[in-house]
Amino acid sequence: MELSNRLEESYAQNIGESILYLWVETIREFLVEKSHSADSAESPVLKKTTEEVAEDLEDYFSPGFQLPKCQDQIQALALLASEGLEDEELPHIKHGEPITDRRSTFQPHLAPVVTPKQVKMVLDKLYENKKIASATHNIHAYRIYCEDKQTFLQDCEDDGETAAGGRLLHLLQILDVRNVMVVVSRWYGGILLGPDRFKHINNCARNILVEENYIESTDDPAKSGGKNKKQKSKKGK
């Protein structure tokens, strides 16, 4: 009954919008809370890496739930740099509309990628922009489909916004998009947003995926992911 009430409340607050992801998040958070309350063991101490790491992060690291793990990007991308990036073409980078809430601004960026080298190239290009480089956080996630192995090469980066990269990658997985990289820049405005910051990060990502035709703008967005993302990859070339 408690879960049902939460789902109904989420629906009522977002009438006219796609609520599939919101319901998934609501169910996940409900189960995490129950798991957390049932576990008497103490949770490991989490290091605070951002101004807003607060009580809400206990949910994201509770026993019984794991977000997609963000790997250490530095060593892998450093190796790629030594292999010669001149053989790869820089993908075309799109910049989405920003979202501002209580003086914090979030802006998405998207690029079609088919190799990890292109991921580094996109990041390097974005950081050439002084405004983007000065952002408090540049969270990113990507998914690349390997046709020969029929598997995904995917990873994410929090850039100090704990759990944001994993949640962003989780969104890409739910939407079943491939051969795409999404970066969300956040400029912190001095007011703590709590869990709302994650909502804005994912909404930014969803919006630019819709704008670039990786997903549909209304119900059942995941169905359009495979076809559209392949078309976008060809355009990027």
pLDDT (0 to 100) of residue 181: 96
Q: Which helix (H) or strand (E) holds 142?
A: strand 137-146
Q: What is the pLDDT of residues 171-228, one digit of tens each?
A: 999 999 999 999 999 999 999 988 899 999 999 999 999 999 998 875 444 444 444 4
pLDDT (0 to 100) of residue 206: 94
pLDDT (0 to 100) of residue 7: 82
Q: How many whole angstroms separate alpha carbon 112 and alpha carbon 237?
A: 9
- For residue 104 the two structure tokens come to 């914090």
Contact predicate 108/182, CB 8 Å: yes
CA 2 to chain centre: 28
pLDDT (0 to 100) of residue 29: 80
pLDDT (0 to 100) of residue 4: 83
3-state DSSP assignment of residue 63: coil
Q: How many whole angstroms separate alpha carbon 47 and alpha carbon 177?
A: 32
Q: pTM, whole model, 2 decimals?
A: 0.60
Low-confidence spans in the chain with pLDDT less than 70: 16-18, 21, 38-87, 218-237
Half-sphere exposure of 222 (CA within 13 A, CB side): 10
